[in-house]
Amino acid sequence: MGPLPVPRLARRPQPGRRTDRRGARRRAPPGPSAPRGWPDHPRGVPPRHRPEPAARRRRARPQHPLGARPRRRGPRALHRARPPPRDLLRSRSRARPANVRRKARVRRRSPWWPGGRTARGARSRHRAAQSEIRRGHQARGPPGERARARGLRGAPVRTRRARRAGAVIDRARLERRIAELSRVGGRGTSVTRLGLSAEEQSARDLVGSWLAGRGATIRRDPAGNLFARIGGEGGAVLVGSHIDSVPDGGRFDGALGVLCAVEAVETLLEARADLRRPIEVVAWADEEGARFGVGLFGSAAVFGRLAPGVAERRDRQGISVADALRALGERGDPALARRGAKDFTAYLELHIEQGPRLERAGLALGVVAAIVGIYHARVTMSGQADHAGATVMTSRADALVAASEVVLAVERIARARPDTVGTVGEIAVRPGAKNVVPGECVFSLDLRTSRDLDPYVHEVLASVERIAHARNVGASIDELARVPVTTLDPKLRDALRRGARSVGVEAPELTSGAGHDAQNPALAGVPTGMLFVRSTGGSHKPSEFASLDDAALGAQALANTLREIAG
């Protein structure tokens, strides 16, 4: 028996099934240059292996990003769902040129990416709000820090899982509330929310509404401070900062401390943390003192450190502190807000650094070891107003010239002392006419040092008296505040370092060159700790900035510390 006849088709290798039709279009027709294995004639190939005529080739439908087609109105605006191309999921040969493979891909962009579907296709009223901070102005942390912060991004699902593994802050909620609070008295990146004003009260109401929804007991004391208590009786752990600002200030000074305190407490509640001590979130009133000249006003009232006669001090419109409190519904006496140090077992405050040290070190967090001593006063130089042309130079008692010498003396004395600064930030001249010799000049004094405060103040005030005598003018000094150098509690400093370490930051110890509400509870005997968050762009101005990543790390470190000392 001879060999069985083998069909001509089987004697020659057939094109593989993986070769797609678009690849077949690029092949040369049968002929002398045809690749080996090409059939002699299409009729010798089964129909399923024959190349399709160009007229019958199936083409993949073009893929359009969402919203790329022009918008239509009416019932036709609803596009009918189209079936995907039948060969869309076919395996593609990697042997094709790279440019062909790129064209074959379905190109889509994330709806959250700039220029993606949300930015191009959605109408303006549905688009997400653009960030007010350009990417180039955002703080950049050391390598790996953004990855740690991204691990803190919380959604409701993330928080529920955290109940078993640990309390994780809701990063998106924190970001949303930063923007929400900055709109109270804000315009762009600038915020003007003066102490004991309607804007500050609106901010208090907003913060109180967040915590009231969590079952907190909300109250406002006679000095305008907001307290939100969670838990039962006994000494509470107090945590917070202030929510007022200087004129045309930034969005983060003080406010970030209140926002992170609210977020930390909410996170512990969502995680069902077992807290043995109650927690009180506080939003201090008028910390800046920009309106009435009395800094740390709200915390000083609570801890009995207000100077006598503060209620009668007036702003530039002639409104007194007492009047401003009555306009808010209070009795007008801030001294009624005093509470005993035994009401609190500890005080914690988060605040932006307001300086460059953490930024230069490439660190997101720092622990405050001490706060500078501060002296605030209002100085009045009283001379003789007279005609600018008819009064000869040797017969003048020019109050402004005397004040100018004092300003230079403050600069000279501060430069000669280490870790010392002095500032004259306000000045007013009366009668204030170009052709009148100034008869009175009133200016502010802001003296700060991390060393001994009293010798520094004594030297400056002695210079005021000497210059006034030499210039034949009078001088009076109205002391507004005197806060000594304040060392914070070592045990709470250790606890805050552990909290920072828990989020991957080895926080250094720093001395704060700015005054803070934390000084008043510390000086009253309440154990006090303070955590700094890196900030850029300076402070007390619209460019003041703290990144969301750093704020998230700070809030998480604060929550972990609260859990340790209150749990």
- Number of neighbouring beta carbons within 10 Å of residue 503: 24
Pair 228, 263: CB distance under 8 Å: no
Distance CA 174, CA 307 (A): 37
The type of residue at 441 is C
CA 162 to chain centre: 24
Helix (H, G, I), strand (E, B) or coil at 191: strand
pLDDT given for residue 567 in this prediction: 82
Global pTM value: 0.70
Distance CA 557, CA 501 (A): 8
Task: Indicate the Cα dihedral angle 71, 77, 81, 82, nearest 10°.
Answer: -60
**H/E element holding 187?**
strand 186-187
Q: Tell me, what DSSP letter sits at residue 486?
A: E
Residues present in the chain in total: 567
pLDDT given for residue 159 in this prediction: 32
Q: What CATH superfamily is the domain 138-371+485-566?
A: Zn peptidases (3.40.630.10)
pLDDT given for residue 369 in this prediction: 97
Per-domain residue ranges of the chain: 138-371+485-566, 373-483
pLDDT given for residue 232 in this prediction: 85
E-state strands within 309-406: 344-352, 365-371, 373-382, 386-387
pLDDT given for residue 117 in this prediction: 41
Helix residue ranges, H only, 122-155? 145-150
Selection from 281, 301, 279 nearest residue 234 by Cα: 279
pLDDT given for residue 279 in this prediction: 97
Secondary-structure class of domain 373-483 per CATH: alpha beta
| Ordered DSSP codes for 424-474 | ---EEEES--TTEE--EEEEEEEEEESS-HHHHHHHHHHHHHHHHHHTT-E
- Number of neighbouring beta carbons within 10 Å of residue 358: 25
**Per-residue pLDDT in tens (0 to 9) along the chain, 567 residues:** 555 555 554 444 445 444 444 444 444 455 544 444 444 555 555 666 666 665 555 565 555 544 444 454 544 444 444 555 554 444 444 445 555 555 444 444 444 334 444 444 445 444 544 443 333 334 444 444 444 444 443 333 333 333 334 679 999 999 999 999 999 999 999 999 999 999 999 999 999 999 999 999 999 999 999 999 999 889 999 999 999 999 999 999 999 999 999 999 999 999 999 999 999 999 999 999 999 999 999 999 999 999 889 999 999 899 999 999 999 999 999 999 999 999 999 999 999 999 999 999 999 999 999 999 999 999 999 999 999 999 999 999 999 999 999 999 999 999 999 999 999 999 999 999 999 999 999 999 999 999 899 999 999 999 999 999 999 999 999 999 899 999 999 999 999 999 999 999 999 999 999 999 999 999 999 999 999 999 999 999 999 999 999 999 999 999 999 999 998
β-pairing, 344-352 vs 528-533, is parallel
Is there a shared CATH topology between the 138-371+485-566 domain and the 373-483 domain? no
Distance CA 446, CA 427 (A): 12
Across the strands, what pairs with 101?
none
